[in-house]
Structure 1
Amino acid sequence: MYHDSEFLKGLTGEVVTVKDSVYEESRQEWNRAINKFPLVIVYCERKQDVVNAIFWARKRCVSIRIRSGGHHYEGYSTGDLVLVIDISRLNALELDKQRNILKIEAGAKNTEVYNLVGSNGYVFPGGTCPTVGVSGYTLGGGWGFSSRLYGLGCDSLIELELVNYQGRLIKANRNCNSDLFWACRGAGGGNFGVVVGMTFQLPEPTESTVTFVRFFYVGTTNEKQAQVMNVWQNWLPGLDNRMTVSASFYNEEGEGLGIFASGFFYGSAEHAREILQPFAEVEGFRVELEESSFLEAVKKVEAAFPPSEKFKSTGRFVQRSYSLCELENIAGLVQDPAEGSVYAAVTFYALGGQIMNVGKRDTAYFYRDARYIMSVQSIWTEDASAKENSKWVRERFEYIKRITKGSYVNFPISDLRNYEQKYFGGNAKRLDRVNKKYDPFNVFRFPQGLK
């Protein structure tokens, strides 16, 4: 090993190594269960810093990881002895009100985008957690509380800029590198190169009220969880596109079994109440509906997220209705949480609406016709509980896998066999061809990257 300055020569931006006092904080992901030790972390402040980092890593045969928000469930935006290209400081935003177009640098977070568009009377179909990087969210498809009305995050994307393996800045849109543009709408982050800029077409500015929807049940039992799941699966196919919700069937330390749902309805509280009527027919239903601007609604959602967590979570696509027996099995998954778990849940994320109006071959996001995403998760606080909780999630994932088709790349799980097929379905082969073309030497490889 050269002495540091010689070894790090050529890197620009803020360069952090194990010798720096900020290393411990810099290496952390949002999911504190991820415990990796990169060789070097580079906080890029200009696009040239990204170029220099790629050259440096290739010259020294060091693996590259790309990080914007640091929210990858399995921590693939970091690694042991890798170079982390952190683009979180490349976060400039530009709003063109003439054309309703938003240009962002790829390190921008949900909350930063929401503040800008929301304060200018626009909505943005972004994610729920405030500190998620918009680029990582979008590249994997991007589900949020506006998805059924405005589509997935990737459906608003009209152009991107990417630094490739040669350090060249290339553009991709419908007319230029259109195969790459196709692939970057759903194939997940980390492949092809380092995305440094994105351009979105925003919906027309609107005065419309957003109703922040929350409902829960008092006196929850295993049977009631299965009963509400049944209401959900019958309710969703005819649901008004203006409503997008997620519902969690959980077991929380100290509280026990519960059901909690939240989401947005682009309309009045009164109308939202009518739409939720089927749920009100199950005993113990309680609802809270708050009308506000889009930005105020987003802020209420953001307030619920802690600064970090220790968790394991993953999600699959649901394509069919389940029998009452199957629903009882699904509810049964949370009956016995792992040792040390503070919160264990199965969560349903509503799909359909505008998501289905794009063909499954039109973007890399394949599972357009799925009804909802079913995720299973466990959260813990003590490091000693990590192994037990991870095992608990993996065991339950095996059951969910048997009754679903396809995994959501933004809710990934490691050690998934034939993962390309599971994440990308009928688009997997085409994605491999695009990857060979744009990253022929597999410079941007990671544990579940395109091969």
Structure 2
Amino acid sequence: MFNILENQIGSRLLLPGNERYEETRKVWNTAVDKQPAAIVVCESEEDVSAGVKFAKENHLSISIRGGGHHVGGFAVCDGGLMIDLSQMRSVVVDESRQVALVEGGATLGDIDLETQKYGLAVPTGTVSETGVAGLALNGGLGYLRGKYGLTCDNIVGARVVTADGKAIDVNEENHPNLFWAIRGGGGNFGVVTKFEFALHNVGPEVFALDVMYDLKDAKEIIQKLQAFLEQAPDEAVSINLTATVLPPAPFLPEILHFKKVIMFTGIYAEDVSEGETILKPLRELAEPIMDHTGVMPFAEYQKKLDPMVPEHVRVYGTSLYFDQLTDEIIDQLLYKIYNAPAPSILVQLWALGGEMNRVPATATPYAIRDAKFVLLVDCMAMAGDDDLCKQWIDSVYGGLLPFSHKKASYLNAIGSNEEATTNAFQENYARLVEIKEKYDPENLFRHNHNIKPSK
């Protein structure tokens, strides 16, 4: 069956039994263990086109791997064709146009490494090993969201291989409906082989918030945070709060091993000296356990959370948006944290506002432009703990859903869930279905938060 494709791309086609097949099909979340019929390890747009055409002709569904870092494990599928972009990682800065040309397999770290040479940045996420493609196509929340918006807001163009295997340029002038759809509508419409991202003046050094408190003070801390955010400038609203259990790591004092803590991270995306003054209240919310706040390289700070999101772990995750954090929500969330079934949890509350919330809800598919917080919850399962972790994650989602904003979730942080998909897109869903029917009527690209053709 695969002889024709193998003649086109040679050893870049991996079939079951090939020594590279087993390693290549692995994704970040090892709770996802799927067996594609074949994997195309792409080195060029031509490889992508060949793979997509073959899949269409042979009625195979297609999964697309950028960084392979999604909690849902959408990069790999059972019985379909896996398009692996992880070798396509080129990043080129066009200073004259203030854009970065980024291949679909690039990671956030790849982008920062190149753009920071020019004192420029693309607003991306907070873990450097994340692939930019999945992040951008479903939104993209990071430390620059308050000042410069979401990653999807900063897509100014792309090369897309559609379901017929053709590569097209997509921007405001060419295929404007498809351009609209890829800025938040996920991988539903084709394979993005190259992005053009707007660049902004950031760094190379920034004022970075990095303070840790005891979780016992969390309720008062969250209440004070909300008061701070009501008067904070855009540059200071990209604050991430993380509750976790510290590991017994050698770089931590023994007294902190297995301690439940709450951490604040974020950057001030303007003048460094201003940042120190404006963010000072967030360093005085309670008695800090540690405070490493200060000036540091932006690219280095972008890697700060990497050790907390290790490769190849069994992860179960969920997400919800909130208008405000009432005492009832805070109490329920803290109860869940204290009664988590596994020591390895990440419970994050990210403050939302500034530029990302000034974009009209219908300007891109990313419709949640008026929430004040997003909750991201991950539970890393140890051996034999999978059912307990899944039940706990479901209980967090189900318990807080009635209090959430529009019952919506951030799609980059939740597994496959049909209701969550439609809730995330809100009034944009119908338009996305129309575009899906035009560009992928057979739903080849369905291993994602899927927008199903109605026909």
TM-score (norm 1): 0.91
Question: In 1, distance between residues paired with 2:313 and 2:296?
Answer: 29
Instruction: Report the equivalent of 1:295.
Output: 299
AA aligned to 2:242 is: S
Question: In 2, distance between residues paired with 1:365 and 1:28?
Answer: 29
Instruction: Report the equivalent of 2:208.
Output: 212
| Residues 234, 53 of structure 1: alpha-carbon distance in 2 compared, 3 angstrom cutoff | same
AA aligned to 1:412 is: I
Post-superposition Cα deviations, 1:346-402, rounded to whole Å, max 9, x if no partner, equal 2101210110121111111100111121122211332x2222212211111111212
| Residues 74, 300 of structure 1: alpha-carbon distance in 2 compared, 3 angstrom cutoff | closer
AA aligned to 2:331 is: E
Is 1:398 the counterpart of 2:398? The answer is yes
Is 1:38 the counterpart of 2:31? The answer is no
Question: In 1, distance between residues paired with 2:213 and 2:325?
Answer: 23
Is 1:258 the counterpart of 2:261? The answer is yes
**Contact 2:101 / 2:196 at 8 angstroms: preserved in 1?**
yes
> Following superposition of structure 1 onto structure 2, how do residues 382-421 of structure 1 map, counting pairs within 5 Å?
382=383, 384-404=384-404, 405=406, 406-414=408-416, 416-421=417-422
Question: In 1, distance between residues paired with 2:422 and 2:398?
Answer: 17
- SS of 1:198 mapped into structure 2: strand
Q: Which runs of 5+ in 1 are unaligned?
A: none
**Contact 2:418 / 2:449 at 8 angstroms: preserved in 1?**
no
- SS of 2:115 mapped into structure 1: helix
| Residues 348, 269 of structure 1: alpha-carbon distance in 2 compared, 3 angstrom cutoff | farther
AA aligned to 1:233 is: Q
AA aligned to 2:272 is: S
AA aligned to 2:210 is: R
> Following superposition of structure 1 onto structure 2, how do residues 35-434 of structure 1 map, counting pairs within 5 Å?
35-188=33-186, 190-203=187-200, 205=201, 209-218=205-214, 220-221=215-216, 224-243=217-236, 244-251=238-245, 255-266=258-269, 267-268=271-272, 271-272=275-276, 274-277=278-281, 280-284=284-288, 286-302=290-306, 305-322=309-326, 324-338=327-341, 341-382=342-383, 384-404=384-404, 405=406, 406-414=408-416, 416-434=417-435
| Residues 6, 99 of structure 1: alpha-carbon distance in 2 compared, 3 angstrom cutoff | closer
AA aligned to 1:350 is: A
| Residues 57, 281 of structure 1: alpha-carbon distance in 2 compared, 3 angstrom cutoff | closer
| Residues 230, 207 of structure 1: alpha-carbon distance in 2 compared, 3 angstrom cutoff | closer
Question: In 2, distance between residues paired with 1:293 and 1:447?
Answer: 34
Post-superposition Cα deviations, 1:145-164, rounded to whole Å, max 9, x if no partner, equal 11111111111111011011
Percentage of pairs with the same residue: 26
**Contact 1:154 / 1:186 at 8 angstroms: preserved in 2?**
yes
AA aligned to 2:147 is: L
Q: Which runs of 5+ in 2 are unaligned?
A: 248-256
**Contact 2:154 / 2:198 at 8 angstroms: preserved in 1?**
yes
AA aligned to 1:431 is: L
**Contact 1:376 / 1:397 at 8 angstroms: preserved in 2?**
no
**Contact 2:418 / 2:450 at 8 angstroms: preserved in 1?**
no
- SS of 2:310 mapped into structure 1: coil
Question: In 2, distance between residues paired with 1:395 and 1:174?
Answer: 42
| Residues 104, 13 of structure 1: alpha-carbon distance in 2 compared, 3 angstrom cutoff | farther
**Contact 2:157 / 2:170 at 8 angstroms: preserved in 1?**
yes
| Residues 200, 248 of structure 1: alpha-carbon distance in 2 compared, 3 angstrom cutoff | same
> Higher mean Cα deviation, 243-252 or 355-364?
243-252
AA aligned to 1:355 is: M
Question: In 2, distance between residues paired with 1:294 and 1:279?
Answer: 20
AA aligned to 1:413 is: G
- SS of 1:242 mapped into structure 2: helix
Post-superposition Cα deviations, 1:248-289, rounded to whole Å, max 9, x if no partner, equal 123457524221121212343674354341561434464221
> Higher mean Cα deviation, 124-133 or 38-47?
124-133
1:87: how far off? 1.0
**Contact 2:37 / 2:79 at 8 angstroms: preserved in 1?**
yes
> Higher mean Cα deviation, 22-31 or 4-13?
4-13
Question: In 2, distance between residues paired with 1:297 and 1:239?
Answer: 22
Post-superposition Cα deviations, 1:275-334, rounded to whole Å, max 9, x if no partner, equal 341561434464221213323333445465433332111211112341x23311121111
- SS of 2:129 mapped into structure 1: coil
Question: In 2, distance between residues paired with 1:70 and 1:206?
Answer: 27
**Contact 1:269 / 1:290 at 8 angstroms: preserved in 2?**
no
Q: RMSD across aligned C-alpha pairs, in angstroms?
A: 2.2
**Contact 1:13 / 1:45 at 8 angstroms: preserved in 2?**
no
Question: In 2, distance between residues paired with 1:367 and 1:430?
Answer: 16
1:137: how far off? 0.9
Question: In 2, distance between residues paired with 1:125 and 1:103?
Answer: 14
AA aligned to 1:358 is: V
Question: In 2, distance between residues paired with 1:276 and 1:360?
Answer: 33
1:39: how far off? 1.5
| Residues 269, 33 of structure 1: alpha-carbon distance in 2 compared, 3 angstrom cutoff | farther
Instruction: Report the equivalent of 2:252.
Output: none
Post-superposition Cα deviations, 1:85-112, rounded to whole Å, max 9, x if no partner, equal 0111122222111221211121111111
**Contact 1:41 / 1:85 at 8 angstroms: preserved in 2?**
yes
Question: In 2, distance between residues paired with 1:306 and 1:325?
Answer: 32
- SS of 1:420 mapped into structure 2: helix
| Residues 21, 400 of structure 1: alpha-carbon distance in 2 compared, 3 angstrom cutoff | same
